[in-house]
């Protein structure tokens, strides 16, 4: 007997990025994002008690502008960073809060973002239509909110 997933709403995310130039806000980027297929395995293991390495603890900044696809498992030329904090704004939400300082990941064109577990599994991915040329006068803050 095969079980069928009857959830009316699968987990979905909202990606919010604030870009600062010399500490002045120059852009706010806010869009829905793709929760990749890996998330199903992550959820199942967390619920089943196999929690080692399954919590989302990192954000990745990559260089690809290729649209996200459900089967994505990595970012291109990823710069990985530990999340700043995790919060729970509502009973059905988790917010992963992050930053990228002016001294980090300079000299690359950032076009994609990803949430990763402690064991390196990609949970969610977001791309922009145009890359951000990261330089020492730019810094980022943001949040990635997952709704259930």
Residue 71 falls within a domain, yes or no? yes
Predicted confidence at residue 44, as pLDDT, reads: 81
Predicted confidence at residue 40, as pLDDT, reads: 81
Residue 61 falls within a domain, yes or no? yes
Tell me the pLDDT tens digit for each residue of 84-121.
999 999 988 999 999 999 999 999 999 999 999 999 99
Spans of the chain, pLDDT less than 50: 1, 3
Residue 4 falls within a domain, yes or no? no
Strand order in 122-133's β-sheet? 79-82, 56-62, 109-117, 122-133, 24-35, 12-21, 138-147, 93-100, 85-87
Residue 6 falls within a domain, yes or no? no
| Structural domains of the chain, count | 1
Residue 5 falls within a domain, yes or no? no
Predicted confidence at residue 19, as pLDDT, reads: 98
Structural domain boundaries enclosing 114: 12-147
Predicted confidence at residue 1, as pLDDT, reads: 45
d(CA 25, CA 34): 26
Predicted confidence at residue 3, as pLDDT, reads: 46
Residue 3 falls within a domain, yes or no? no
């Amino acid at each position: 007997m095969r079980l069928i997933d009857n959830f009316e709403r699968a987990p979905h995310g909202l990606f919010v990025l604030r870009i600062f130039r010399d500490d002045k806000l120059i852009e706010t980027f806010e869009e829905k994002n793709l929760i990749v297929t890996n998330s199903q395995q992550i959820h199942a293991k967390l619920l089943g008690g196999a929690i080692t390495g399954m919590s989302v603890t990192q954000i990745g900044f990559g260089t690809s502008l290729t649209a996200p696809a459900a089967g994505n498992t990595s970012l291109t030329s990823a710069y990985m960073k530990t999340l700043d904090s995790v919060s729970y704004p509502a009973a059905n939400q988790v917010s992963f809060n992050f930053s990228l300082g002016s001294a980090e990941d300079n000299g690359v064109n950032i076009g994609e973002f990803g949430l990763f577990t402690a064991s390196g599994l990609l949970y969610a991915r977001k791309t922009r239509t145009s890359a951000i040329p990261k330089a020492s006068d730019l810094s980022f803050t943001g949040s990635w909110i997952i709704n259930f």
